[in-house]
Chain A
């Protein structure tokens, strides 16, 4: 037997899985991400198909059947989660409420994402004066009490869904700017950016095809976190009576309406709040999971 007959066990094949295989493995090995994404996906479907899923019209009042308890408290299956103080079907309002929350979360995060990313990338890429101005604006924004300013502006402009979305979108860009600025700063110094500039690529081209793809993972994480933030804020504004106005089915509003009945019918507060909690929790789990999966070096 010569040395070449069998491969030496010390020279084991060390070719590992491909990057995409590794990513797939990390995604499917991450419980938080899987649970979060499935719950968010499910609620998204519920929101999209609300008209098909809701057993009743969420706005239909029926003074004959007010304050019916949910089935598990002795109610009947016609109103599985009971009815509110105006006799509206609670389950249907919850289902339509998912639309409100998700729409606010997604659109507000998109608006603030565009603003914040533009500012952050510009600050990180150009540095100098641009960076100074953006950093200053971030400081100013952080110093403004969000809840208070949002409440005041919504109160002035009137609490429609569009106004709430716009106000939140215009207020929540700070984290995008902070994170995108830091990521851009990190990427800007890399060799491939220098290489692209050396071959004469224009600034927009360098930003779009060299910088953006390399900071996109951080962007996605911030998008999820800000979605959750926007959803919570909308609920808080509506709860305070200065967000989305009745009779729109918003979960925060439902908690607020249930508050008066809290002494006798605590489920009217518990159910919408719990759904809100689950949605935000799922989005956060998804965001944390995405961060872990896309940045394996940060996993502890």
Chain B
């Protein structure tokens, strides 16, 4: 088990480095940050001076090394636009995004898992068809459009919920639904498929042969096994959702890290974009790592090997 964790951790670190390198080179190729920094009215000499000042004239690998070294110590440089340290800028915005992400995945799990279980218990029943319809529709729904529809309906027409902002819990309801709805179909499908598979297994027959009540068979014997892959998926979806928060945050004007990313891209604020790409991939890496560990702990076959 410890061996597995260490191996997995090594891989996670390696992935993180590679991601940071790729995103750095992508943005490096992007052209001259000095131009962006100097602004449209700057003269050639101004740009040249800035280039020297920031060291943009040095080879890419040197710049990457320097950036990485600082990043490892928590220093992501200074935002071109805000003129503030990127690290504190992001830290300040992350709480909104994390809250949104946790609410979203919770919403997805508490709706998708029961629905998937119910659908698997009675395949081809009405509830199964409804679940299937919701998942197919959910996968095709453009989240920005879904968000706007909710705003029109619940904020404008009905006036029940605030259309944008993040000051009260009520502000998080619609963003949570939009973000969570994105993860629902996959979780629902996997739960259903897993339950169907497990319910037809020999050990479920054994449990029934023991005279175990149906609820016990379904939840203690079946769901306990079917939920294992769902845990991994939920973690992966959580990683994707934080990356997807950029759309949701822009619709609902939630000033989280996603919103910051959107603004920074539009403003060519490279250090901030750079750092945000790394932060979002770190989230994905950490979540999948935790999921693998949790998975290994849930599955006795992996725990002992």
Q: Do A's and B's CB atoms come within 8 Å in the complex?
A: yes
User: CB within 8 Å of B: which residues of A?
Assistant: 136, 139-140, 142-149, 151-153, 155-157, 228, 232, 235-236, 239-242, 252, 255, 259, 262-263, 266, 269-270, 273, 276-277, 280-281, 283-285, 288, 300
Is B123 an interface position by the 8 A CB rule? yes
A239 x B265 contact (CB < 8 A): no
**Complex Cα–Cα for A157 and B27 (A):** 10
Interface code B198-222, partner A: CB below 8 Å = 1, 0 otherwise? 0000000000000000000000000
Given A153-B26, A277-B141, 10 more A-B residue pairs with CB atoms under 8 Å apart are: A140-B19, A142-B236, A145-B280, A148-B277, A148-B280, A152-B265, A240-B247, A263-B156, A269-B152, A280-B140
Report the nearest A residue to B151, measured CB to CB: A262
Q: Which B residues, 233 to 286, have Cβ-Cβ distances below 8 Å to chain A?
A: 236, 239, 242-244, 246-247, 250, 261-262, 265-266, 268, 273, 276-277, 280-281, 284-285
Given the contacts A144-B22, A148-B261, A156-B27, A241 and B266 also touching, CB distance less than 8 Å? yes
Is B11 an interface position by the 8 A CB rule? yes
**Complex Cα–Cα for A236 and B244 (A):** 10
B145 x A269 contact (CB < 8 A): yes
Residues of B contacting A262 with CB < 8 Å? 148, 151-152, 156
4 A-B pairs closest in CB distance: A145-B243, A273-B145, A156-B30, A281-B140
Residues of A contacting B14 with CB < 8 Å? 136
| Other-chain contact of B266, A148, A149, A242, A284 (Cβ < 8 Å) | A242
Residues of A contacting B266 with CB < 8 Å? 155, 241-242
A300 x B123 contact (CB < 8 A): yes
User: CB within 8 Å of A: which residues of B?
Assistant: 11, 14-16, 18-19, 22-23, 26-27, 29-31, 123, 136-137, 139-145, 148-149, 151-152, 156, 193, 196, 236, 239, 242-244, 246-247, 250, 261-262, 265-266, 268, 273, 276-277, 280-281, 284-285, 288
Residues of A contacting B268 with CB < 8 Å? 155
Q: What is the distance, in angstroms, from A204's C-beta to the closest C-beta of chain B?
A: 30
Residues of B contacting A142 with CB < 8 Å? 236, 239, 284, 288
**Complex Cα–Cα for A51 and B246 (A):** 36
A280 x B142 contact (CB < 8 A): yes
A259 x B148 contact (CB < 8 A): yes
| Other-chain contact of B23, A136, A149, A263, A300 (Cβ < 8 Å) | A149
Residues of A contacting B30 with CB < 8 Å? 152-153, 156-157
Given the contacts A136-B14, A140-B15, A145-B284, A152 and B26 also touching, CB distance less than 8 Å? yes
B243 x A236 contact (CB < 8 A): no
Residues of B contacting A235 with CB < 8 Å? 142, 144
Residues of B contacting A277 with CB < 8 Å? 140-142, 145
Residues of B contacting A147 with CB < 8 Å? 243-244, 246-247
Residues of B contacting A269 with CB < 8 Å? 145, 148-149, 152
Q: Is the interface of B mostly helix, strand, loop or mixed?
A: helix
Residues of B contacting A152 with CB < 8 Å? 26-27, 30, 265, 273, 277
Residues of A contacting B284 with CB < 8 Å? 142-143, 145
Q: What is the distance, in angstroms, from B20's C-beta to the closest C-beta of chain A?
A: 10
**Complex Cα–Cα for A270 and B153 (A):** 12
Q: What is the distance, in angstroms, from A254's C-beta to the closest C-beta of chain B?
A: 11
B148 x A144 contact (CB < 8 A): no
A151 x B262 contact (CB < 8 A): yes
Residues of B contacting A285 with CB < 8 Å? 136
Q: What is the distance, in angstroms, from A119's C-beta to the closest C-beta of chain B?
A: 15
Report the nearest B residue to A239, measured CB to CB: B144
B285 x A143 contact (CB < 8 A): yes
B136 x A284 contact (CB < 8 A): yes
Residues of A contacting B261 with CB < 8 Å? 148, 151
B148 x A240 contact (CB < 8 A): no
| Other-chain contact of B144, A236, A283, A284 (Cβ < 8 Å) | A236
**Complex Cα–Cα for A252 and B31 (A):** 27
Residues of A contacting B141 with CB < 8 Å? 277
| Other-chain contact of A236, B123, B247, B265 (Cβ < 8 Å) | B247
B262 x A136 contact (CB < 8 A): no
Q: Which of B31, B265, B288 has the most CB of A within 10 A?
A: B265
A-B contact pairs, 14 of them (CB 8 A): A136-B18, A144-B277, A145-B242, A147-B247, A156-B30, A228-B139, A232-B140, A235-B142, A240-B262, A255-B144, A259-B148, A276-B142, A281-B140, A284-B139
Report the nearest A residue to B31, measured CB to CB: A156
Report the nearest B residue to A280, measured CB to CB: B140
Given the contacts A143-B284, A277-B142, A240 and B250 also touching, CB distance less than 8 Å? yes
A140 x B280 contact (CB < 8 A): no
Report the nearest B residue to A235, measured CB to CB: B142
Report the nearest A residue to B146, measured CB to CB: A273
Residues of A contacting B151 with CB < 8 Å? 262
| Other-chain contact of B15, A143, A242, A252 (Cβ < 8 Å) | A143
Residues of A contacting B139 with CB < 8 Å? 228, 280, 284
A281 x B136 contact (CB < 8 A): yes
**Complex Cα–Cα for A251 and B148 (A):** 14
B246 x A255 contact (CB < 8 A): no
Residues of B contacting A145 with CB < 8 Å? 242-243, 246, 277, 280-281, 284
Report the nearest A residue to B26, measured CB to CB: A153
Residues of A contacting B137 with CB < 8 Å? 281
Report the nearest B residue to A259, measured CB to CB: B148
**Complex Cα–Cα for A235 and B141 (A):** 11
**Complex Cα–Cα for A256 and B31 (A):** 28
